[in-house]
Every structure is written in C-alpha cells, then in structure tokens.
C-alpha cells in the first residue's frame, strides 16, 4: 500500500536523520497492520489523477485531504495546513442540454483535462471539511472556516466561511 502513486504525505520526506529513518522503519509493520485492519486515510492524502499535478510548497500538512487533479493543476504555497477531510477538486463533467457529454452523438469530451487549476497561497489554513472547487485562487494567509465550499477567489489575509464561502473578515497585512 505504501508503494502506490496515490498516497502522499509531505511529512515523510527523504533526508531524515538516522534516528528518524530508524523510527519509520520500526513503525512500518504497525502502520501496515493498522491499514490492513481498516484504519485508512488517517495520515495520508489521496490523489485522484496524476500525482505530479499536485505541487506542494515546503512544510505543508495535508492530513487526509482528497486531491482531484483530473481537470487541472493544484499549486499549494509554503506552510499551508489542511485539517481533516478536506477536498481540493479540479474535476468536473460536461453536460450539454442536461445530458452527459459522452452520451451525445457525436460524443463531447465529458471530463476536461485542463482549465480548472487551483492556486493556494502560502500560510493558509483550511479547517475540517472544506471543499475547494476548481478554477479558484486563494491568497496568502487566508483562513477558511470548517465546512465551507470555496467556489470563487478568496483574497489574501482574510477569513472566509460559508456555503458558498464569502469573506467574513479582512486582516491587515503582516509586516
């Protein structure tokens, strides 16, 4: 399970100290046993699509976030934190007159492969259950409240929440 391309966890980086590598080596059988027992996605994120389309900055924490990169690229700035059960979704389906694209004659591309990029700035915090929908930009140091659905751009240095998310409070820029 550790060797698939679908899981990523930026905390498990190469270049760990000898002590860190030894600790991970000793923990590995217990982690695999826990995964076998059904305790999945506690610490690992899931990437639906090409893992290379998720561009993480340094010192990010993704917990068990779902990244869907079928229809775009996800760029995440440094020091950004995702709490539990967040979803970052670029994927979408084309509908023509209420019918899925591939059911038309001639068929229309049902799932676009580009154009729904998500750009997330540095120092952002996403509370539990946040859903980010494709083709948005979230500025640096933004805080998104729990259970929010981000469907439009969010400026830097603000708190946004709700369904759909809207700016609740604007903070002054940090020097």
Among 29-43, 56-70, 121-135, where is mean pLDDT lowest?
Answer: 29-43
**What percentage of the chain reaches a pLDDT higher than 70?**
84
- ∠ CA(133), CA(135), CA(138), 5° rounding? 80
Residue-wise pLDDT tens digits, 123-135 = 999 999 999 998 9
Residue 123 CA: distances (Å) to CA of 20, 90, 174: 26, 21, 11
Calculate the dihedral angle through the C-alpha atoms of 140, 153, 83, 76, rounding to the nearest 10 degrees. -50
CA atoms of 40 and 13, how far apart (whole Å): 20
The catalytically annotated residue of 48, 79, 84, 93 is 93
* Superfamily covering domain 45-170: Hexapeptide repeat proteins (2.160.10.10)
Residue-wise pLDDT tens digits, 45-63 = 888 888 899 999 888 888 8
Output the pLDDT for position 154.
Answer: 96
For the question of residue 84 being annotated catalytic, the response is: no
Please report, for the chain, the start and end positions of each structural domain, with discontinuous segments joined by +.
8-40, 45-170
Are 164 and 151 a contacting pair, CB within 8 Å?
yes
Mean pLDDT to the nearest integer, 146-173:
94
Residue 152 CA: distances (Å) to CA of 31, 33, 48, 92, 165: 38, 41, 22, 15, 8
């Amino acid at each position: 399970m550790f060797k698939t391309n679908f899981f990523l966890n930026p905390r498990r980086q190469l270049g760990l100290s000898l002590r860190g590598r030894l600790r991970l080596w000793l923990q590995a059988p217990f982690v695999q046993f826990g995964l076998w027992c059904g305790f999945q996605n506690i610490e690992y994120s899931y990437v639906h699509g090409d893992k290379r389309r998720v561009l993480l900055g340094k010192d990010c924490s993704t917990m068990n976030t779902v990244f869907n990169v079928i229809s775009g690229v996800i760029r995440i700035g440094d020091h950004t934190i995702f709490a539990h059960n967040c979803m970052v979704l670029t994927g979408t389906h084309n509908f023509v007159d209420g019918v899925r694209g591939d059911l038309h004659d001639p068929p229309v591309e049902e799932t676009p492969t580009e154009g729904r990029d998500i750009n997330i700035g540095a120092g952002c915090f996403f509370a539990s259950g946040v859903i980010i929908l494709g083709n948005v930009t979230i500025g640096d140091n933004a805080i998104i409240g729990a259970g929010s659905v981000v469907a439009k751009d969010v400026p830097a240095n603000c708190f946004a929440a709700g369904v759909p998310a809207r700016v609740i409070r604007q903070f002054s820029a940090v020097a």
